Amino acid sequence: MPRSLTRQLVSFVRAFGTVAGIRIWCSLLIQSHLLLRRTFGVRLPGMAAPIYLRRQDLPIFWQIMVMREYDLQSIPQARRLMAAYEALQSEGKKPIIVDCGGHVGLSAVWFANRFPDALVYVIEPERSNFQLLQRNTAAYRQVIPLHGGVWGQPCRLVISNPSAGNASFLLREVPESAAASGSDSLRGYSIEGLSPPPDLSGLFVVKIDIEGAEAELFQGSAEWLRIVKLVIIELHDWLLPWQGTSRNFFKRIAEHNFDVVVRGENLLLFQP
């Protein structure tokens, strides 16, 4: 978020309208300074339930709800994306959205409101994030929260840097025996192996923000790329310099004919 309070207020008014924008901005400003170690709530226009945040979650709230980085309406490819959404429903298929790296559920809430007939799988590894994610998505029956990480194949994972900030956790694979040993291992989900498994013919959007684990996610063939209508991904070479975490991703997408649009920190890949 910008340090300038004036710039913040102007952006809130632009996103929510004058009255609601001032109300939401004042509410967050007051609560985030008075309740430094507690969760606070804010109600947004048109949403089924309040959103609950901690002070450290405000930058992500800013990106998703204020700057609206997942709002695609101004992009020319969005018209065909919406046609694909409607076509899936007319074929009797449930559009599937997979949110990889759900944090506290703000992106899942955005997708649930924007695409109310879609089924949203949202995956988050860190426990306190996941608990808040569950709270934020409880009002949306079409959202399925999964506590775990995303990998190239089903496996067991652990957080390798548990003392990192709540939006910067890195995962690593461990032996399957870790699940039986009482360790803090997590389930690693592949896109194809979500539980309960979705009908991948309805795969609509896959959003990926997994702190460098895209290296493992795209290590294999990633056949689901042939079906998905939109991929939203944040790459993390900046976080893990000289480790080449984006190389496998670029190899895989080179095998397809995506239109690629840059929006904020994300690449948007539209399937023709």
pTM of the predicted model as reported, rounded to 2 decimal places: 0.93
The label of the residue with tokens 């910067």 reads 168
Q: Looking at residue 195, what is its pLDDT?
A: 66
CA distance 118 to 128: 26
Q: What is the mean pLDDT of each run of 10 residues along the chain (272 residues)?
A: 89 96 95 82 94 95 96 94 96 95 97 96 96 97 96 91 69 76 82 80 95 94 94 94 95 95 94 89
Q: Looking at residue 86, what is its pLDDT?
A: 97
Is the torsion defined by CA of 90, 93, 99, 105 positive or negative? Answer: positive
pLDDT tens per residue, range 143-184: 999 999 999 999 999 988 776 665 577 898 888 776 655 568
CA distance 73 to 268: 13
Name the superfamily (CATH) of residues 78-270: Vaccinia Virus protein VP39 (3.40.50.150)
Q: Looking at residue 133, what is its pLDDT?
A: 98
Q: Looking at residue 151, what is its pLDDT?
A: 94
193, two tokens: 């192996």
Residues in the chain: 272
Q: Looking at residue 173, what is its pLDDT?
A: 87
CA distance 13 to 9: 6
CATH 3.40.50.150 domain position(s) in the chain: 78-270
Q: Looking at residue 121, what is its pLDDT?
A: 97
Count other Cβ atoms within 10 Å, centred on residue 248: 18
